[in-house]
Amino acid sequence: MSDGPVPVDASPTRPLRLRDLSEEDLLARIVPVYAAACGREGDVLLGPGDDAAVVAAPSGSVVATTDTMVLGHDWRDDWSSPQDVGDKLVTQNVADVAAMGARPTGLLVTLAAHQDLEVAWVEGFAHGIARAAAAYDVAVVGGDLSGAPEGVVMVTVTALGDLEGREPVRRSGARPGDLLAVHGSLGESGAGWWLYEHGYRPDHAGPWSGDGEPTPQRRRAGAMDHLMWVHRTPVTHPGSGALAARAGATAMIDLSDGLVRDAGRIARASGVRIDLDREALQRDFVAALPVSVLPEQVAWQQVLTGGEEHSLVATFPAGSSLLRDQDDPDGRWWVIGRVLPRGEEEPAVTLDGAAVSGQGWDHFGG
Amino acid sequence: MSDGPVPVDASPTRPLRLRDLSEEDLLARIVPVYAAACGREGDVLLGPGDDAAVVAAPSGSVVATTDTMVLGHDWRDDWSSPQDVGDKLVTQNVADVAAMGARPTGLLVTLAAHQDLEVAWVEGFAHGIARAAAAYDVAVVGGDLSGAPEGVVMVTVTALGDLEGREPVRRSGARPGDLLAVHGSLGESGAGWWLYEHGYRPDHAGPWSGDGEPTPQRRRAGAMDHLMWVHRTPVTHPGSGALAARAGATAMIDLSDGLVRDAGRIARASGVRIDLDREALQRDFVAALPVSVLPEQVAWQQVLTGGEEHSLVATFPAGSSLLRDQDDPDGRWWVIGRVLPRGEEEPAVTLDGAAVSGQGWDHFGG
């Protein structure tokens, strides 16, 4: 033991809380964490510490979007670590930028919390933000700290992006004859949520722990862990959004509220019907879920309506080279449907021509 | 009375709440309100309704800042109307853009609330946002809606801005020999807060209501109403921030946390001392407060440390034409101090050479 004073945060019985620090002390702890996410060279003209940040907008325009997560509403502390929350919040926002066909350039991060919140939570959250931002090659350029009522933790990210000279890919450009394709997974985040809801918990040891070859039981546990991990920290692929834009995507959206609901947004904005292909969805996505744990009906439900996946869904002219030559290092675009004219009284989204039940998420449950 | 069905929100005994509407129904009510704030022509390339907005950035860069307000923490429903809250939130953000010398171009608006919140509050808030945005000539381009725990209402704005080809005015450029000047009021918002705290309430009738000339009592009531109004809805002047930048301001900040604290930020970032001029502050600001209600000591305290004023404070080279020829239609820059070298052990901010007590606001009270 040293003879010097014991730092105030060294006691295991008394965790350091926001009330113990001034705003400047707290910033001094988290700004260096964010500094690890410095983005692409030339993107940040002025970083945190002034009244506002300055981010490069070489195209002469900036893409901007914002998303909020609320404790008890968008995450549970017994499921998600603060790192998970920061990671997911960045992904949600970057996915919205990617869905315009843009490259993310800067993030603003807001935390509103009661002064009882542990400083360790805030530091973990900042590490999650920084980890995801670094993975997506985007900088944290500023933000805000705010007090909040007891028990409240609320985090917001605003993401900025650059279109690299392209037009934005809107929801309204889908035309009859186009094909609908998805980049990334379908139903995994929703299946992970279903597992949590049904009492499963990750076995962080994983299927390759212990001696010898993984047993079927351990493989099954590993598949379940994977789904719960996707639910806690989904991933998106901004480079694939930009690639789709270059390849002539006519409409694009990121999957926040489920395939049926989000494809419906494209269909309504474009004045078309989107017909999902049951066989393609079954072969490429439903069959990929571990039906030994998840009833097949649940797998279908999550593929069609599971939220918070943050994969990209886009429409392409039928002959698009991107759908032929799948050269994206981040993975391929899977064709899962086609765009048709929409007759009066027809639903916006159908599955093999028939209406689909289940609509995905609504943030107020109305 | 019509024979038609009574709309669900027509009953005075059952106010419409968020739980009664889907997210899309709610958006259908507030997006048209925001549409009134369409900004300057050419600023909005893609407005609300897609995954992200696209805002013009003609300078090739974008200024970005964000600020949050929380019910019970940043406003009280018995003091502030929802319109007031929206108005103030826009001002806070626009002031940060202005303090960089930039022109605001776009706003993103986030609301996180429990489903018990009355829809009328949300509509009033949207009207406040739109009114202030229109006044500052900036567009509402997008945002987010989120659920929250019982009793929670939290609102966030992100503001974007364009530097019109200029360099950003940072906090770090003040040099010994510069003069410190303020544009707008000092201490009024803090004095309004003090009046509320001491039980005063606005008399919305105002001093010119009723017959005849206003009496001294009614004038006094009017002066108090004015201060409380400034506290609920301070104003800033983005055009004056841009004018200051063009006139060679060396450092600038907006007054969120009080003159001593915010001038201290310039002083520390610039490595200088800022000496406030007691006579100028007394003559131009303390004397303007109604000392018949507010003890002079309180007036001084609010001029030096009152927060949420959102006036701009900047340093200028001593010969600056802006300080000579006060041609800004929004009002003049008042010289209130000077920039000196900072000796070791010297405080960052002094008043006639002496240390100042009181430091303004800290968001966690640490």
Examine the pLDDT at A228 and tell me if it is beyond 70: yes
Examine the pLDDT at B212 and tell me if it is beyond 80: no
Q: Which region among A217-226, B67-76, B117-126, B178-187 has the lowest average model confidence (pLDDT)?
A: A217-226
Average pLDDT score over chain A: 91
Asked whether the beta carbons of residue B145 and residue A363 sit closer than 8 angstroms, the reply is: yes
pLDDT score at B13:
73
Asked whether the beta carbons of residue A50 and residue B168 sit closer than 8 angstroms, the reply is: yes
pLDDT score at A292:
80
Mean pLDDT value of segment A216-239: 90
Chain A: residue whose CA lies nearest to B170: A50
For residue range A201-214, what is the model confidence (pLDDT) as tens digits? 987 555 555 566 67
Biggest distance spanned by C-alpha atoms of chain B: 81
Do residues A267 and A348 lie in contact, with contact meaning Cβ atoms separated by under 8 Å? yes
pLDDT score at A1:
38
pLDDT score at B364:
47
A291 Cα distance to chain centroid: 24
Chain B: residue whose CA lies nearest to A159: B52
Asked whether the beta carbons of residue B50 and residue A100 sit closer than 8 angstroms, the reply is: yes
Asked whether the beta carbons of residue A147 and residue B363 sit closer than 8 angstroms, the reply is: yes
Chain B: residue whose CA lies nearest to A164: B60
pLDDT score at A145:
94
pLDDT band at A365 (very low <50, low <70, confident <90, very high): very low
pLDDT score at B3:
45
Asked whether the beta carbons of residue A54 and residue B146 sit closer than 8 angstroms, the reply is: no
Give the residues across from B339 on adjacent strands: B274
Asked whether the beta carbons of residue A51 and residue B100 sit closer than 8 angstroms, the reply is: yes
Asked whether the beta carbons of residue A23 and residue B362 sit closer than 8 angstroms, the reply is: yes
DSSP code of residue B236: -
Q: Three-state SS for A347? A: coil
Average pLDDT score over chain B: 91
Structure-model confidence comparison of residues B329 and B86, the more confident one: B86
Asked whether the beta carbons of residue B18 and residue A366 sit closer than 8 angstroms, the reply is: yes
* Chain B closest-CA separation from residue A319 CA (Å): 26
Asked whether the beta carbons of residue A66 and residue B99 sit closer than 8 angstroms, the reply is: no
pLDDT band at B205 (very low <50, low <70, confident <90, very high): low
pLDDT score at A155:
98
Chain A: residue whose CA lies nearest to B313: A51
Examine the pLDDT at B4 and tell me if it is beyond 70: no
Q: Look up the ipTM and state it.
A: 0.90
Partners of A366 on chain B (C-beta within 8 Å) are 18-23, 25-26, 115
pLDDT score at A6:
45
Examine the pLDDT at B2 and tell me if it is beyond 50: no
pLDDT score at A364:
46
Examine the pLDDT at B170 and tell me if it is beyond 60: yes
Examine the pLDDT at B360 and tell me if it is beyond 80: no
Nearest to A155 by CA among B161, B66, B54: B66
Mean pLDDT value of segment A333-362: 87
pLDDT score at A3:
45
Examine the pLDDT at B1 and tell me if it is beyond 50: no
The span from the CA of B330 to the CA of B183, in Å, is 9
In which region does residue A255 sit, left (phi positive, over 0), alpha (psi from -120 to 50) or beta (all else)?
A: beta
Partners of B102 on chain A (C-beta within 8 Å) are 52
Q: Which region among A7-11, A49-53, A350-354, B329-333 has the lowest average model confidence (pLDDT)?
A: A7-11
Contacts A–B by Cβ distance under 8 A: 256
Asked whether the beta carbons of residue A148 and residue B70 sit closer than 8 angstroms, the reply is: yes
For residue range A103-127, what is the model confidence (pLDDT) as tens digits? 999 999 999 999 999 999 999 999 9
Partners of A158 on chain B (C-beta within 8 Å) are 64, 66, 108, 158
Chain B: residue whose CA lies nearest to A111: B68
Partners of B18 on chain A (C-beta within 8 Å) are 364, 366
- Identify which of A49, A142, A168 has the shortest CB distance to residue B54: A168
The span from the CA of B5 to the CA of B25, in Å, is 19
For residue range A83-94, what is the model confidence (pLDDT) as tens digits? 999 999 999 999
Q: Which region among A141-145, A361-365, B14-18 has the lowest average model confidence (pLDDT)?
A: A361-365
DSSP-assigned letters across all residues of B243-312: HHHHTT-SEEEE-SS-HHHHHHHHHHHHTEEEEE-HHHHHHHTGGGS-TTTS-HHHHHHHHHH------E
Chain B: residue whose CA lies nearest to A172: B50
Examine the pLDDT at A5 and tell me if it is beyond 70: no
Partners of B20 on chain A (C-beta within 8 Å) are 366
For residue range B322-355, what is the model confidence (pLDDT) as tens digits? 888 766 667 799 999 999 999 999 999 999 999 9
